[in-house]
């Protein structure tokens, strides 16, 4: 069997799975409300146990989402303490999630490569589109989360904010959610899973590891750095048994299907039933 | 008798001969003193006026008599005389009357010393006596009832303290046909008290000599009703009443004394005579062959059990051998039920019937004929729980009334049965629940378009308000009421929200979700924007606990938002929000419940927020989409290479294997 390179910690993988479940729940229950004028929405709301339970699901999933966010921040600070001398080292080092000059070079280089004007850029640990997805979640949780809390506790927020801000919050919450759902279920799905190199899906976020050849090809700078540091062997691991892989595939396919269905439904609602 | 006559003759002889020289006393002599209004005398120790009005006396029937004709004890006395005269004896002249009186109940009471007993003067007066035929006389025919009534009306001492077997004599008499003839129509030949009881010989009916004794009553009545035998054919010979009164009913057995009504007899007109023919099951009309059989049992169990045949079949002529041969008209129920008959004639049923419309129902279609029962009888077709079936006979889809109907209400019977009213009536058996006639009325049924109809929009709130009175009171003060809104716009009434025949409970899910479209029929834009907000979206998903139109605006007490009494006025709006949002404050109420992001003038910040977000969305998708599309050819190229590589490897392996 092909050698595998470990890329994600167990906690990261668990958080991603929880995020999938939470995000799908939020998307399904939220979109039924946003597109309540379509027959789809009424059917779905009914399937989810009526609007009231859909509301509970939505809020419960939101709590999980915020939980994931907090857990990630806490994990990040622990990682910093464990592996980096300072926040600066973490945030400005070669493995940073923050955008830097190289990302801009990579983006331009990539576009050149798309157009056949150059070679593919050599990526490090994180590509620029991975970083974009990562910060999209930061942005989304901040914007959707804060407006969501306003809609959840309007009595509290209107103690110091005008009531019409709830109307504004409704629009922002709903349209930002539409953006998030649309982006994740199209661009993110394509970039990570559906593009022909990875088709039908990239398992790395579930198994936490990727094949050695793929790693060498996709993350050449990271590979070189690890070999140089003589730490590469620490990251090598045996793949999971086929039964685990199959289970993961079933889960992932379910998530993908739900995501695509929602996209189709949104497009249908926007084009044919928009109010 | 003899000593009395002897005395009378002696007295007369004495007057004309023995006392003749003293006839010099003139009435003028008496009036020289008695015309003084202040002149008093004493009687039984009490001071009384002894003034006599000369004018009144001159107008009386006794004007030509001298004072001493009556005050006989003054005959020949020196004037002025002493007080304490003997009571006047009218019998001196009116001996026959006095004799009757003295034997009568009244006279006997007088001789017993009963202070309430009437003497001559109590009825006829004293110096002012008029002839009984003078209309001013208290004993004139028209005034007799009041004369007798002085003592014999309710509350008078006689009626209270003496044993009088009849009550409300004066009232009953005045309402009877005799009383009406006398008092209303002024017929002086109509009987008054004295006509039956006699004037002076009043005796109890138990006294065989009494004019109202069982044996004599027929004779008394036949004084006027001379040909009564003709009418009362059952008694073959009228004289039997007089001759064999003990075996026959007396007049008063049927026609109660003092209450002789002009209407119907209790069981007169000989129902048995009718039944002699009509109890035969094969009796048929000669003209059209329809059965004329009458089931006696039906009649006996009906509401009209005590009504005789002739009261309804009123054109019978008792003097014919076949009294019914004079009948040419159908039974007219309105002859008794006049008010209902009037309503019916104005109703759509009555109007159609008047046009000889074959299918138009008349009284009997609903009430039956001989089997008629009261609406309070559960076996009656008009009993509340049976009414829907009764009306359904014609108004069920496809039946004769339903096919004529061109309006919007269909399947009314089925829908009513499923409605809250129908369920209350038919399933729960609540007889007070509204059924057909409660809304449409029983007899004044008119189409909704008729302004007199109980279900015309003008009248509907009052019709529903007969049961839902509290709601009507609220509604009448609301902006939807014609009493408040004078704009001339079409206003909703009860059925516009609640429907007519499919009325549901207002706390049922179906009603709650439907109400937005009901309000939206008139308030189109407002309803649309409601569906843009959280409340609207949620209710569209079938959630009923969220705020619907009436939760904020009120249901029946709805008022303009600018009205201080409105649920949404500045004073009340926070409280209205707090019905659901307990912690809501003044700012909370600033939430725009009908906001839309499509209106840049009214809600610019919502409009721009929406378009800002949309721009962000479109921008992100365009950039992401371009990036992905550009990537696609490269990715496919890579894929092809990978496939080729794999093929090479497998063919290499194959070659190697083949080589072995």
Per-residue b/e over B578-602, b at no fewer than 16 CB within 10 Å? eeebeebbebbbbbbbbbbbeeeee
Of B613, B625, B636, the CB nearest to A175: B613
Residue B255 lies in a domain: no
Structural contact between residues B593 and B530, judged by C-beta atoms closer than 8 angstroms: yes
Strand partners, B47: B42
The mean pLDDT of B465-469, rounded to a whole number, is 95
* Domain finish residue from B589, B606, B625: B589
- CB proximity A42 to B under 8 Å: yes
Query: B581: which chain A residues are within 8 Å (Cβ-Cβ)?
Result: 154-155
pLDDT at B377: 92
Structural contact between residues B448 and B458, judged by C-beta atoms closer than 8 angstroms: no
Query: B531: which chain A residues are within 8 Å (Cβ-Cβ)?
Result: 36-37, 275
Query: B585: which chain A residues are within 8 Å (Cβ-Cβ)?
Result: 155, 158-159
Number of H helices, E strands in chain B: 35, 2
CB contact under 8 A, A172 and B613: yes
Identify the burial level of A182 via C-beta atoms within 10 angstroms of its C-beta, where 0-12 means exposed, 13-18 middle and 19 or more buried: buried
Residues B488 and B353 in one domain: yes
Residue B273 lies in a domain: no
Q: In the block, which residue shows the tokens 């993350």?
A: A219
Strand partners, B291: B284
Structural contact between residues A175 and B610, judged by C-beta atoms closer than 8 angstroms: yes
Residues B345 and B494 in one domain: yes
Structure tokens that stand for A21 in this block = 């479940």
Residues B608 and B549 in one domain: no
* Domain finish residue from B473, B504, B535: B504
Q: Give the Cα separation of A226 and B274 in Å (integer).
A: 126
DSSP label at B41? E
Residue B446 lies in a domain: yes
pLDDT at B659: 44
Smallest CA–CA distance, residue A89 to chain B, in Å, is 31
Structural contact between residues A95 and A74, judged by C-beta atoms closer than 8 angstroms: no
pLDDT digits 0-9 by tens, A222-240: 999 999 988 888 899 988 9
Residues B359 and B440 in one domain: yes
Residues B343 and B461 in one domain: yes
CB contact under 8 A, A163 and B597: no
pLDDT at B180: 84
A274: left (phi over 0), alpha (psi -120 to 50) or beta: beta
Q: Give the Cα separation of B76 and B66 in Å (integer).
A: 13
Q: Give the Cα separation of A197 and A213 in Å (integer).
A: 13
The CA distances from residue B78 to B24, B29, B31, B88, in Å, are 11, 11, 15, 19
Structure tokens that stand for B32 in this block = 């020289």
- CB proximity A49 to B under 8 Å: no
Residues B342 and B397 in one domain: yes
C-alpha triplet A17, A19, A25: angle, nearest 5° = 110
Residue A247 predicted with pLDDT over 60: yes
* Domain finish residue from B504, B536, B552: B504
Q: Give the Cα separation of B424 and B434 in Å (integer).
A: 8
pLDDT at B655: 62
Residues B626 and B522 in one domain: no
Residue B431 lies in a domain: yes
Structural contact between residues A30 and A177, judged by C-beta atoms closer than 8 angstroms: yes
Contacting B residues, span 544-603, partner chain A, CB-CB under 8 Å: 545, 581-585, 587-592, 595, 597, 603
pLDDT digits 0-9 by tens, B597-619: 988 999 999 999 999 999 999 99
pLDDT at B618: 94
Query: B633: which chain A residues are within 8 Å (Cβ-Cβ)?
Result: 114
pLDDT digits 0-9 by tens, B19-74: 444 444 678 888 888 888 888 887 777 788 888 888 888 888 888 888 888 888 88
CB contact under 8 A, B597 and A171: yes
Residue B469 lies in a domain: yes
Q: Give the Cα separation of B91 and B147 in Å (integer).
A: 21
Residues B450 and B537 in one domain: no
pLDDT at B660: 45
pLDDT at A66: 95
The mean pLDDT of A104-112, rounded to a whole number, is 94
pLDDT digits 0-9 by tens, B497-514: 998 899 988 888 888 888
pLDDT digits 0-9 by tens, B318-331: 666 777 887 888 88
pLDDT at B240: 61
Q: Nearest residue on chain A to B594, judged by CA atoms?
A: A167
Percent of chain A with pLDDT strictly greater than 90: 65
Residue A182's nearest CA partner among B250, B617, B404, B641 is B617
pLDDT digits 0-9 by tens, B436-458: 999 999 999 999 999 999 999 99
Query: A172: which chain B residues are within 8 Å (Cβ-Cβ)?
Result: 609, 613
Residues 6+ apart with CB under 8 A from A228: none
Q: What share of chain B is helix, strand, coil (3-state, %, to 5)?
A: 50, 0, 50
Element (H, E) at A236: strand A236-237
Q: Strand, coil or helix: what is B89?
A: coil
CB contact under 8 A, A163 and B545: no
- CB proximity A191 to B under 8 Å: yes
Percent of chain A with pLDDT strictly greater than 70: 99
Q: Give the Cα separation of A110 and A107 in Å (integer).
A: 5
Instruction: List the domain range (segments joined by +) for residue B456.
Output: 338-504
pLDDT at B246: 61
As for the ipTM of the complex, it is: 0.92
Q: What is the mean pLDDT of chain A?
A: 91
pLDDT digits 0-9 by tens, A29-46: 999 999 988 888 888 888
Of A111, A178, A197, the CB nearest to B630: A111
Residues B399 and B482 in one domain: yes
In the A/B pair of chains, how many CB contacts fall below 8 A? Answer: 139
Percent of chain B with pLDDT strictly greater than 90: 32
Structural contact between residues B580 and B551, judged by C-beta atoms closer than 8 angstroms: yes
Smallest CA–CA distance, residue B536 to chain A, in Å, is 9
Smallest CA–CA distance, residue B628 to chain A, in Å, is 7
pLDDT at A20: 94
Residue A87 predicted with pLDDT over 60: yes
Long-range pairs for B328-334: beta carbons < 8 A, 24 or more residues apart: B331/B369, B333/B363, B333/B367
Of B532, B587, B625, the CB nearest to A159: B587
Query: B592: which chain A residues are within 8 Å (Cβ-Cβ)?
Result: 163-164, 167
pLDDT band at B2 (very low <50, low <70, confident <90, very high): low
Query: A151: which chain B residues are within 8 Å (Cβ-Cβ)?
Result: 534
The mean pLDDT of B190-194, rounded to a whole number, is 89
CB contact under 8 A, A167 and B633: no
- Which domains are present in chain A? 4-272 (1.20.950.20)
Contacting A residues, span 195-224, partner chain B, CB-CB under 8 Å: 195-197, 199
pLDDT at B152: 87
Of B534, B605, B632, the CB nearest to A168: B605
Smallest CA–CA distance, residue A131 to chain B, in Å, is 14
Q: Nearest residue on chain A to B612, judged by CA atoms?
A: A172
Q: What is the mean pLDDT of chain B?
A: 84
Residue B268 predicted with pLDDT over 50: no
Query: A32: which chain B residues are within 8 Å (Cβ-Cβ)?
Result: 541
Residues 6+ apart with CB under 8 A from B34: B50, B51, B52
Residues B431 and B555 in one domain: no
pLDDT at B217: 83
Q: Give the Cα separation of A61 and A18 in Å (integer).
A: 9
Backbone angles phi, psi at A4, to 5 degrees: -120, 150
pLDDT at B218: 80
- CB proximity B517 to A under 8 Å: no
Strand partners, B48: B41
Residues B611 and B545 in one domain: no
pLDDT at A56: 94
pLDDT at A202: 86
The CA distances from residue B157 to A53, B121, B151, in Å, are 85, 18, 7
The mean pLDDT of B370-396, rounded to a whole number, is 93
Does the bond joining B144 to the residue before it have cis omega, within 30 degrees of 0? no
Residue B137 lies in a domain: no
Q: Give the Cα separation of B145 and B138 in Å (integer).
A: 9
Query: B590: which chain A residues are within 8 Å (Cβ-Cβ)?
Result: 158, 162-164
- CB proximity A32 to B under 8 Å: yes
Strand partners, A211: A4
Residue B76 lies in a domain: no
pLDDT digits 0-9 by tens, A64-83: 999 999 999 999 999 999 98
pLDDT at B264: 43
Query: B583: which chain A residues are within 8 Å (Cβ-Cβ)?
Result: 155-156
- CB proximity A275 to B under 8 Å: yes
Query: A168: which chain B residues are within 8 Å (Cβ-Cβ)?
Result: 605-606, 609
Higher confidence at residue A104 or residue B304?
A104
Residue in B631, B638, B641, B646 to test binding to A, most A beta-carbons within 10 Å = B631
C-alpha triplet B260, B173, B252: angle, nearest 5° = 35
- CB proximity B534 to A under 8 Å: yes
Please count the structural domains in chain B: 3
Residue B234 predicted with pLDDT over 80: no
Percent of chain B with pLDDT strictly greater than 70: 89
Residue B106 lies in a domain: no
Q: Give the Cα separation of B386 and B374 in Å (integer).
A: 12
Contacting A residues, span 135-174, partner chain B, CB-CB under 8 Å: 151, 154-156, 158-164, 166-168, 170-172
Residue B548 predicted with pLDDT over 80: yes
pLDDT digits 0-9 by tens, A181-207: 999 999 888 888 888 888 788 889 999
Query: B617: which chain A residues are within 8 Å (Cβ-Cβ)?
Result: 175, 178-179, 182
Higher confidence at residue B325 or residue B112?
B112
Residues B526 and B569 in one domain: yes
The CA distances from residue B576 to A4, B471, B543, B603, in Å, are 64, 20, 19, 23
Higher confidence at residue B537 or residue B258?
B537
């Amino acid at each position: 069997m092909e050698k595998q390179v470990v890329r994600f910690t167990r906690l990261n993988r668990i958080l991603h799975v929880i995020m999938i479940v939470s995000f799908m729940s939020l998307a399904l229950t939220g979109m039924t409300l946003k597109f309540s004028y379509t027959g789809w929405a009424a059917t779905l709301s009914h399937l989810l146990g009526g609007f009231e339970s859909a509301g509970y699901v939505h809020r419960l999933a939101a709590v999980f989402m915020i939980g994931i966010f907090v857990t990630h921040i806490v994990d990040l600070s622990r990682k910093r303490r464990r592996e980096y001398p300072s926040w600066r080292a973490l945030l400005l080092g070669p493995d940073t999630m923050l955008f830097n000059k190289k990302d801009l070079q990579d983006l331009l280089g990539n576009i050149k490569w798309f157009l056949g004007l150059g070679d593919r850029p050599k990526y490090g640990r994180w590509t620029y589109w991975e970083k974009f997805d990562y910060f999209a979640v930061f942005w989304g949780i901040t914007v959707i989360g804060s407006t969501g809390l306003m809609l959840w506790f309007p009595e509290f927020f209107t103690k110091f904010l005008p009531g019409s801000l709830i109307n504004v919050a409704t629009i922002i919450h709903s349209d930002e959610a539409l953006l998030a759902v649309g982006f994740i279920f199209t661009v993110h799905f394509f970039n990570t899973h559906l593009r022909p190199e990875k088709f039908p899906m990239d398992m790395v976020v579930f198994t936490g590891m990727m094949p050695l050849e793929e790693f060498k090809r996709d993350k050449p700078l990271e590979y070189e750095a690890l070999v140089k540091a003589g730490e590469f062997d620490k990251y090598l691991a045996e793949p999971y048994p086929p039964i685990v892989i199959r289970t993961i595939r079933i889960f992932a396919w379910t998530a993908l299907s739900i995501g695509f269905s929602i996209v189709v439904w949104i497009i249908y609602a926007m084009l044919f039933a928009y109010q | 008798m003899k000593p009395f006559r002897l005395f009378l003759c002696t007295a007369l002889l004495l007057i004309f001969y023995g006392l003749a020289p003293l006839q010099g006393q003139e009435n003028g002599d008496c009036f020289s003193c008695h015309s003084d209004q202040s002149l008093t005398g004493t009687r039984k120790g009490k001071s009384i006026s002894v003034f006599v009005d000369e004018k009144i006396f001159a107008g009386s029937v006794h004007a030509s008599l001298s004072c001493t004709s009556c005050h006989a004890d003054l005959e020949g006395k020196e004037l002025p005389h002493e007080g304490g005269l003997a009571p006047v004896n009218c019998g001196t002249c009116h001996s026959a009357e006095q004799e009757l009186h003295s034997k009568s109940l009244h006279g006997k009471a007088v001789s017993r010393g009963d202070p309430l007993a009437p003497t001559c003067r109590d009825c006829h007066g004293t110096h002012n006596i008029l002839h009984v035929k003078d209309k001013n006389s208290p004993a004139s025919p028209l005034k007799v009832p009041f004369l007798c009534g002085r003592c014999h009306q309710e509350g008078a001492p006689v009626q209270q303290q003496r044993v009088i077997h009849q009550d409300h004599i004066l009232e009953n008499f005045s309402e009877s046909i005799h009383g009406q003839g006398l008092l209303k129509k002024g017929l002086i030949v109509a009987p008054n008290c004295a006509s039956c009881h006699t004037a002076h010989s009043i005796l109890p009916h138990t006294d065989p000599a009494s004019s109202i004794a069982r044996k004599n009553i027929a004779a008394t009545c036949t004084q006027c009703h001379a040909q009564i035998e003709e009418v009362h054919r059952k008694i073959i010979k009228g004289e039997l009443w007089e001759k064999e009164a003990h075996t026959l009913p007396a007049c008063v057995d049927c026609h109660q004394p003092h209450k002789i009504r002009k209407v119907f007899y209790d069981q007169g007109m000989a129902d048995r005579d009718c039944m002699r023919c009509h109890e035969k099951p094969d009796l048929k009309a000669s003209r059209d062959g329809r059965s004329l059989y009458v089931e006696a049992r039906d009649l006996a169990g009906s509401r009209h059990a005590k009504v005789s045949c002739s009261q309804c079949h009123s054109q019978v002529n008792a003097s014919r051998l076949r009294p019914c041969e004079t009948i040419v008209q159908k039974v007219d129920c309105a002859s008794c039920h006049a008010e209902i008959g009037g309503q019916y004639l104005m109703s759509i049923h009555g109007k159609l019937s008047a046009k000889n419309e074959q299918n138009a129902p008349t009284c009997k279609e609903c009430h039956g004929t001989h089997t008629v029962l009261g609406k309070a009888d559960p076996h009656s077709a008009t009993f509340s729980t049976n009414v829907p079936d009764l009306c359904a006979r014609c108004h069920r889809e496809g039946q004769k009334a339903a096919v004529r109907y061109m309006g919007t209400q269909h399947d009314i019977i089925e829908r009513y049965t499923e409605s809250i009213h129908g369920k209350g009536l038919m399933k729960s058996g609540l007889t007070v629940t509204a059924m057909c006639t409660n809304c449409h009325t029983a007899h004044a049924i008119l189409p909704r378009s008729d302004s007199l109809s109980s279900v015309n929009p003008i009248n509907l709130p009052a019709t529903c308000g007969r049961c839902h009175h509290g709601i009507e009171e609220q509604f009448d003060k609301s902006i939807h009421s014609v009493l408040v809104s004078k704009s001339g716009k079409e206003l909703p009434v009860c059925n516009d929200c609640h429907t007519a025949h499919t009325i549901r409970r207002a706390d049922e899910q179906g009603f709650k979700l439907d109400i937005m479209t009901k309000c939206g029929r008139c308030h189109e834009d407002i309803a649309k924007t409601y569906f843009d907000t959280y409340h609207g979206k949620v209710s569209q998903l079938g959630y009923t606990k969220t705020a619907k139109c009436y939760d904020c605006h009120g249901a029946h007490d709805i008022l303009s938002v600018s009205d201080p009494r409105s649920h949404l006025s500045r004073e009340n709006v926070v409280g209205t929000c707090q019905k659901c949002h307990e912690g809501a404050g003044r700012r909370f109420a600033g939430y725009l419940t009908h906001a839309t992001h499509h209106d840049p003038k009214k809600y610019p910040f919502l409009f721009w927020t929406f378009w800002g977000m949309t721009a962000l969305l479109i921008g992100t998708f365009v950039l992401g989409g371009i990036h992905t599309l550009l990537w696609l050819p490269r990715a496919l190229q890579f894929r092809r290479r990978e496939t080729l590589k794999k093929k090479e490897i497998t063919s290499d392996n194959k070659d190697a294997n083949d080589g072995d």
